[in-house]
Chains A and B, each alone.
Chain A
């Protein structure tokens, strides 16, 4: 601000209140680390919510995570890791004063962020179009045992069956995934060995559309179950020991969840959207920051004597990456 305070040999990038460039750089880094700690704690709240609900409703998480696309998730993990690598390389280039490498690396990092967001958009829109969305738009949204969105529930369950069919190359009803050895015990648990063959695919997976919904009434869970041709309430009860027995090799069907868990199925998706959404916002912010230093580096603002912004944005980007490294297994790879 003032001019007379600056007559000593302060380089232009050195703020008036620092003695040396190192002091300025170290301060910036420390500040960034402290700020990153706040980010971790903010996500910490979500991780905490995740843990509470997963501990309370393990089956729900097993069931619901099947909706997520492990393939896209894995690709995105790779994309982000690669972009972290190019970012680190960029920082190194800035340190060494390699301007063109810095520009290339920052551009590649930016591209990585862009790719991540594109894939995320593909994933989100796939979910959205099948009524897996936030709040009342979620197919599993029900209040006091009343399914508020039967249409969406149908859509969502059907979506899962399609996914499974694609994955296992079998018919869509999901009771009998060929290569899974537990097929028998599972069917036995339903108390009816043959219904799978006897009834149309869609209904067997518990997706009968209750007449009540067509009449404009919102069905209660019981009514809804009753409208399912086979099993009905029998599906829902007695999901105890057996279910635990086939953990790891089999994921529960919607009807195998305990009634109280039906109520919380949509919570999984809410947590999923909150976590990945907040993370996505951070990716966008990171992309903004990278664009900023990219523009600055094209203008030649950085040198081996001054590259703090590159360093700090790099730290931020690594953190965003790190958070995803936790999100991916916690959400996509549940066993």
Chain B
């Protein structure tokens, strides 16, 4: 895969730009064969392998999503149209429970938590720091294998149930898992009573959690220890600030999930009864444990997305980021606040009124750092030279969707309204707006933004934009209407519904098909670029963070031999000139950056 663009002969500026690695060698061509990938400790290759795996997880979760939406397209049994007697119908409904559990659990644990940190973070974090690798490369590889092992295990558990229910197999052999139908939350007491694969599923979650922790440890140590000369904390790109804040949450929250699922396993296998009221235990304690992890976990999902958007908004409007310090600090603030609001998932659990009001108040205060970010993005865009290319389209979509997702969180944080909205489609719409609308869009934005760096190939911009617009339209069509359905009382996790909700569901399902087509356009565009894409210059966007100072794709050691990267102001774009002959930016001769305000 040789992808080095040829500079136009005699073009002095281009020769000064690091377009050609010394040995004509980059991290993709460096070493061949299966083992050179399977045993690599190169963070870039690990990022690529994560990409393949995580996208496969997204695909599996996506198929389930479409199955769910298709079942919901009309009242009654639709997906399993042959279910014409009561018994068959029953198993149809059971199948629905299995499906939304597979969908939710795969999307959360296998897709969205690792998506941005493990793919984009692994790919660019060390390069942005001017480092050769993450602090613990072997641990990084271990984290990948934890993810792979945990995921294979997890998927096997989850699918056993779907297959078993589909074919009506009653007595599965012991090694054939019974699937999972608890939802991704594993709430007791149902999870201790159901005979589906809670035990094996929680083992899977445990292993996946390990993968997440190892990534977090690595990123914290790398950001602390491997910054180059001249890169103080104040010059750290905002994406890295976001990954840093994320890593803190991964470190502090994931172990609590680990002990939670350990206790759940002990409860299930040994019957220790800590969560079982009949044995003197307390089921609400389970919810406290679970949400002590899982609320911060939603910030594990969103913070990296906010980091990606911080980069893209500034780079693609060719303007220094507005309010750098506030954006960086708000990442830390969100991480911190994230730990003290978990009770908002339990307003209806019989928690005391005092706790409810405290959690309600704290929850609303998370809106402040979130709004700080959005307003800084808007201020950055203001008067910028906005380039409406695909990363920017996703970023603009992100701002819109994150705002809706965030604002609809407020009625859920307010006690009186939450009593009504709890466990309805209003909640489903809310969390899809933040998870899919925000994080998935940020992920796609980041993929398109760093794609040239990762593979040394440009995307076809026209199709990239069509894909971005279709996913945006499809997403809103699918989920906006669910706010209305939910406020009318449509409960979540139901396979069937009243005629009154028919039109909402029909519309939503059709929207999800548009979304699916949009996502396939994105995928095909990626594949097309790998095979036929134009070679990418070192710096196609005129960005200034360090990963754009090295060739695309970067050499094995990230920078060419002898290059000692120094800290730069990542948002100062004055040092780069557009060069038509390579369709990219080259360094301005003799440019001396001035200290920015």
Contacts and interface: CB of A to CB of B under 8 A. Distances in A.
Q: Do A and B come from one complex?
A: yes
Interface of A: 1-2, 4-5, 15-17, 23, 26-27, 30-31, 34-35, 37-39, 41-46, 48-49, 52-53, 56-57, 134-136, 141-144, 260, 263-267, 270-271, 273-274, 278
A17 B273 contact: no
A27 B217 CA distance: 10
A53 B279 CA distance: 13
A41 B41 contact: no
A43 B252 CA distance: 12
B260 interface: yes
Contacts of B561: 4-5
B371 interface: no
B133 A26 contact: no
B440 interface: no
A134 B272 contact: yes
Interface in B250-268: 251-256, 258-260, 262-263, 266
A46 B137 CA distance: 32
22 contacts: A1-B40, A2-B30, A15-B137, A16-B557, A27-B224, A30-B135, A30-B221, A38-B252, A42-B259, A53-B274, A56-B282, A134-B271, A134-B272, A135-B270, A135-B273, A141-B279, A144-B278, A260-B280, A267-B274, A270-B272, A274-B263, A274-B266
Contacts of A263: 279-280
B438 interface: no
B545 interface: no
B181 interface: no
Given A30-B221, A35-B213, A45-B255, 17 more contacts: A1-B42, A16-B133, A17-B126, A17-B132, A31-B135, A39-B255, A41-B251, A42-B259, A43-B259, A45-B256, A46-B263, A48-B289, A56-B282, A135-B273, A260-B280, A266-B280, A274-B262
B218 interface: yes
Given A23-B225, A27-B225, A49 B279 contact: no
Nearest to A60: B280
B131 interface: yes
A17 B131 CA distance: 7
Contacts of A271: 274
Contacts of A267: 272-274, 279-281
Contact of B221 (A31, A136, A266): A31
B54 to A, nearest CB: 23
A46 B266 CA distance: 13
Contacts of B266: 134-135, 270, 274
B270 A134 contact: yes
Interface residues of B, number: 52
Contacts of B137: 15, 17
A48 to B, nearest CB: 8
A26 B225 CA distance: 8
B259 A46 contact: yes
A16 B273 contact: no
A141 B226 CA distance: 54
Contacts of A274: 262-263, 266, 272
Residue of B224, B225, B556 with most chain A CB atoms under a 10 A cut-off? B225
B226 A17 contact: yes
B132 A30 contact: no
A267 B274 CA distance: 6
Q: Report the 10 A-B pairs with minimum CB-CB distance, sorted nearest first.
A: A264-B280, A45-B259, A135-B270, A135-B271, A17-B132, A270-B272, A42-B255, A17-B133, A263-B280, A41-B255
A5 B557 contact: yes
A35 B252 CA distance: 10
Contacts of B139: 31
B258 A5 contact: no
A24 to B, nearest CB: 9
A38 B213 contact: yes
Residue of A26, A35, A43, A48 with most chain B CB atoms under a 10 A cut-off? A35
Nearest to B258: A42
Interface in B274-290: 274, 278-282, 285, 289
Contacts of A4: 561
Contacts of B41: 1
B272 to A, nearest CB: 4
B220 interface: yes
A274 B266 CA distance: 9
Given A17-B131, A41-B256, A49 B213 contact: no
B168 interface: no
Contact of A30 (B216, B220, B263, B285): B220
B189 interface: no
Interface in B542-562: 556-557, 561
Contact of A34 (B30, B134, B221): B221
B136 interface: yes
B31 interface: yes
Nearest to B247: A34
Contacts of A17: 126, 131-135, 137, 226
Contact of B135 (A27, A37, A42): A27
Interface string B280-319: 1110010001000000000000000000000000000000
Given A38-B254, A38-B255, A49-B285, A143 B133 contact: no
A266 to B, nearest CB: 7
Nearest to B275: A49
Contacts of B222: 27
B98 to A, nearest CB: 28
A136 B252 contact: no
B259 A37 contact: no
A49 B226 CA distance: 39
B341 to A, nearest CB: 17
B272 A135 contact: yes
Contacts of A57: 280
Contact of B132 (A16, A38, A42, A44): A16
Residue of A31, A143, A273 with most chain B CB atoms under a 10 A cut-off? A31
Contact of B273 (A1, A23, A42, A270): A270
A296 to B, nearest CB: 16
Contacts of A46: 259, 263
B87 to A, nearest CB: 32
A143 B41 CA distance: 53
A266 B225 contact: no
A19 B82 CA distance: 67
Contacts of B217: 31, 34-35, 38
Given A16-B132, A143-B279, A264-B280, A41 B270 contact: no
Nearest to B131: A17
Contacts of B254: 38
Contacts of A136: 270-271
Interface in B188-240: 213, 216-218, 220-222, 224-226
A57 B254 CA distance: 29
A45 B278 contact: no
A273 B259 CA distance: 14
B136 A31 contact: yes
Nearest to B42: A1
A21 to B, nearest CB: 13
Contacts of B252: 37-38, 41
Residue of B139, B218, B220, B260 with most chain A CB atoms under a 10 A cut-off? B220
